[in-house]
Structure 1
Amino acid sequence: MWVDAEPIQRDWHGGEIRISEVLYEFEGPVVFVARVGFNELLFAKRDEGELADFFLAVETNDRIVAALRQGKLSLRGALDRPEGWLIETDLRTINGFQSLAEGQFDDLLPQPKIALYSRYGLVPDTLEQAEAFIAFRFVGAAVQGGQVPLSVLQDKINDFAAFVKKALLPQALMTGRDYRFFDVEMAEPKFSSLVLAAKKPTFDEARIALSRRLEGVNPEALNLQAGNQGREFWGLLNRTLEQIDQTGELSQDFKIENQIFLTNLKGLIPSDDENLSRVEVTFNDGMNLHTAIIEGNQRRTIVAAQAEIEGFDVRTLVGVIIEVNGVAGTFIIKDMAERQTTCVMPRADFNELDDDNQLYRGRQVSITGIFTRRTRRDKLWIDGPIAFLN
């Protein structure tokens, strides 16, 4: 069980193992926290011997142990530390040990994404993902060994910033330049595999209070809207991956209907020439932590769809609302040429405008979105805020 590259030492001076919490046991402790000298260590059994067992031990802290216990962090993530020890012990005496640096005990780490308790399913491998509102982790040859090329880092940070501003911006801040009142705090990037993690959104409350247009809008409502935007994104991501799994592709209708969603992901789903083979997406909806792994055919299908939709017809139309269909969540406008167009938007956005009596017959609007020419009535998937002209 010993690691070949390092010497086996017998003179342990770290102190006795005093178990403070057993996290998993099977015929004895398997995963546990112990005080060893002045250090708190996380132990995980890696092999059994006749007289003693082999444990991988790493320094830990309350944050890591809590995340592991609550199913927010995988056992691999909790053990993946800068240094560790492979210890042969019967939990009373230490027969031998090896001091291991980062990278020397990779083969001793458990499988990725596996929670300590099976009821939690797939979970993140980093604390940054576990504590984030939303996070992307990029895995592949380009980010191995704790080093990231500057070009890759710059591209992914820019792509992630653009995604957050578009996908999570609350509805109330989509008018004019109100988007500048919205921001997110970033967790420190993790370079061993590039992790970009956004914490909860923040809002410039002082400047919002000075805005007449935003009178009555409070941070609590904005946080709720940002959370709803995040849940909408997560739902669309699941639908995307499910359709690829079931059919091997994305239908043309799906690509047209979800062009905004696919465009927002531009750059965050790596292409084959980036030396990034997988991206892991983590989202915290306030109650549960969700994880999706995008690789192989899923990754290539999304990248191909993004390239295709770049050629879609984006137009701005000006017209008068002639019908509002609350059941379908759509409205119809007629332009100066008497051409009718059905306008479609996310259901939550339609409901909010409809509840505020913003959509009614005779109102003149300017809208931008993906245009589809049809025989009887054209169709426009709205991308961006609606400008009301009267």
Structure 2
Amino acid sequence: MTWSIDQPAELPPSNNQIVPERVFYEFDGPLIFSAKSAFVDTIFFKFGENDENSLYLAAPITDMIIASMLKGDLSVRGALMSDQVWVLELASDLTVERYWTVQGEEFPGNLLPARRTGVGAITSGVPDSFDEATALFALNFQGDKFKRAGMPFGVFRTVIQNAHDAARKILIPALLAGTRSATLDFELTEPKFSSLIVALKQPILDVGRITRRLKTDVQVDVISDAISENSVHFVHDMDEIASSAIKGEITSAVAQEKFSILDQVSDIVPTDENNISELAITSNVKGSRSSVVIGEDTGEKILRARKLAMSSPVTEHGVIIQVNGKQSTFLIQSTRGKEVTCATDAGTFKALRSDGRFNLGHTIRVTGLLSLRQRRDYMLLSQMPTLG
């Protein structure tokens, strides 16, 4: 059920006038403001007009929500998200003519403020929830099937599984890529519906398991910092890719250099087939926030660019986990979460062996023709790898 102005309304007591306490935005009168209403602090948002009166959506608000809005940590849309809201018809002097008590999920989404739009000094790219504003890494999925009251189980399962796999590929350092959740996992806040918000907090590390895997003592802070850096760098790279897509098709140069990024997001970007219309990715590290929003058009371009990149040499980043001198090959654990067998000629391999950094556990950048396989991918190198 969706709220409509044609539904029966309630009449307020006489002389029920709203007196704004803080006006966030006004134009020929207050459009977004807070006030005391029936002893409850409330935020008001004008969404339409009816004859000579104005229609406002109202929701309970707290000092923390107001402070977050002014700081740019919460959008107007996010501030209005409440289980119960009110729709009020106000006269020009803000006297209540009539009102409706509405369940939050019943208010039409197209009448809400634009997503990720704030007030004050920061007006765009503002999180729509506190989870996005505070999580280490957050994915906000939008789509017609994502409703506050619920969604199809199959849709939820698919999105969550793909989000889980993508987040691990994006965040986990190459040395620990492929580890199980028992070794390295992330605490998840309660998923939010209406959109589907998947927000990850700080990592959960089993130091003993990691030590046995790496065969060396582990500093938790070093791993946590690497995960945070991966979060920031990923959003930066995705922003570059999205900017390229907005100008037209993603260039072959960008696709080949950023192939790992394209591959990591291939199952979560919006397309016309996966029930996702928009994806917002947010990273919060050491008080600094970065975000990127990917629409369906950009998502389709990402998938096309990934497919086309496969016909030319692409660049991979990872760590060396095995060396086979007889075959002139070595195995890397890619930042994409896959193992990749890298093959080269005897001369190039000999040159690599002469470099003292060509050892197990060392970072490496390789470029070549990549073949995707179920167990291990295969790359025929086209140039000398770069050791980190």
Give TM class, smaller chain. Answer: 0.7 to 0.9
| Gap change, CA 1:281 and 1:46, over 3 Å in 2 | same
Aligned AA for 1:264?
Q
Paired residue for 1:202, among 195, 198, 204?
Answer: 204
Question: Structure 1 pair 225/48, CA: closer, same or farther in 2 (3 Å)?
Answer: same
Q: Give per-residue Cα distances to partners, 1:72-95, cap 9 Å, x unaligned.
A: 221122113232112326788644
Task: Name the SS for the 1:361 alignment partner.
Answer: coil
2:129 to 126, 132, 138: 126
Distance in 1, matches of 2:236 and 2:145, equals 30
Q: State which of 148, 151, 154 in structure 2 corresponds to 1:148.
A: 151
Quote the offset at 1:270 in angstroms.
Answer: 3.1
Match of 1:302 in 2: 302
Q: Report if the CA contact (8 A) 2:138-2:198 is conserved.
A: yes
- Give the CA RMSD over aligned residues: 4.4
In structure 1, the partner of 2:383 is 379
1:86/1:100 contact within 8 Å kept: yes
1:282–1:5: structure 2 CA closer, same or farther, 3 Å change rule? farther
Question: Counterparts of 2:169 and 2:40 in 1: how far apart (Å)?
Answer: 45
Q: Counterpart of 1:236 in structure 2: which amino acid?
A: D
What is the match of residue 59 of structure 2? Answer: 58
* 2:215 aligned to which of 210, 213, 216: 213
Match of 1:96 among 98, 109, 118: 98
Contact 1:342 1:379 in 2 (8 A): no
3-state SS, counterpart of residue 185 of structure 1: strand
Name 2:334's counterpart in structure 1: none
| 1:176-187 equivalences in 2 (<5 Å) | 177=179, 180-187=182-189
- Whole-angstrom CA distance in 2 between matches of 1:342 and 1:269: 40
Aligned pair in 2 of structure 1 residues 236, 318: CA closer, same or farther (>3 Å)?
A: farther
Tell me, yes or no, if the aligned pair for 2:279 and 2:294 is still in contact at 8 Å: yes
1:270–1:278: 8 Å Cα contact kept in structure 2?
A: yes
Shift of 1:168: 0.8
Partner in structure 2 of residue 68 of structure 1: 69
**Which deviations, in whole Å up to 9, do the C-alpha atoms of 1:354-384 show, x marking residues without a partner?**
xxxx9943855598966339xxx833779xx
Count of matched residue pairs: 352
- Rate the CA distance shift 1:182–1:4 in 2: closer, same or farther, 3 A: same
Question: Does the Cα contact within 8 Å between 1:10 and 1:96 map onto a contact in 2?
Answer: yes
Q: Which amino acid aligns with 1:183?
A: D
Tell me, yes or no, if the aligned pair for 1:372 and 1:379 is still in contact at 8 Å.
no
Give the deviation of 1:301 after TM superposition. 0.9
Aligned counterpart in structure 1 of residue 346 of structure 2, from 337, 341, 359: 337
* Alignment check: 8 A CA contact 2:10 2:100 kept: yes
Query: Deviation per CA, 1:79-138, whole angstroms, max 9, x where unpaired?
Result: 132321123267886443222233335454222221112534222323332332222222
Q: Is the 8 A contact 1:23 1:32 kept in 2?
A: yes
The amino acid across from 2:264 in the alignment is N
Cα gap change, 1:140 to 1:48, in 2 (>3 Å): closer
Unaligned regions of 5+ residues in structure 1, if any?
A: 322-332, 344-357
Letter of the 2:347 partner, please give it: E
- Give 1:341 deviation, angstroms: 8.9
Could you say what secondary structure the match of 1:161 adopts? helix
Offset of residue 152 of structure 1: 1.8
Note if 1:40 corresponds to 2:41.
Answer: yes
State the identity %.
Answer: 24
Q: Contact 1:73–1:124 (CA<8 Å) still a contact in 2?
A: yes
* Structure-2-length-normalised TM-score: 0.72
Q: CA deviation at 1:339?
A: 4.2
Partner of residue 136, structure 1? 139
> For residue 284 of structure 1, what is the amino acid of its counterpart?
N
User: What runs of 5+ residues in structure 2 fail to find an aligned partner?
Assistant: 317-321, 330-341, 371-380
Alignment of 1:241-390 (within 5 A): 241-246=242-247, 248-308=248-308, 318-319=324-325, 337-340=346-349, 360-361=355-356, 363=358, 371-372=368-369, 378-379=382-383
Deviations, residues 235-274 of structure 1 (Å, cap 9, x unaligned): 211121122223x223334333322222211311133222
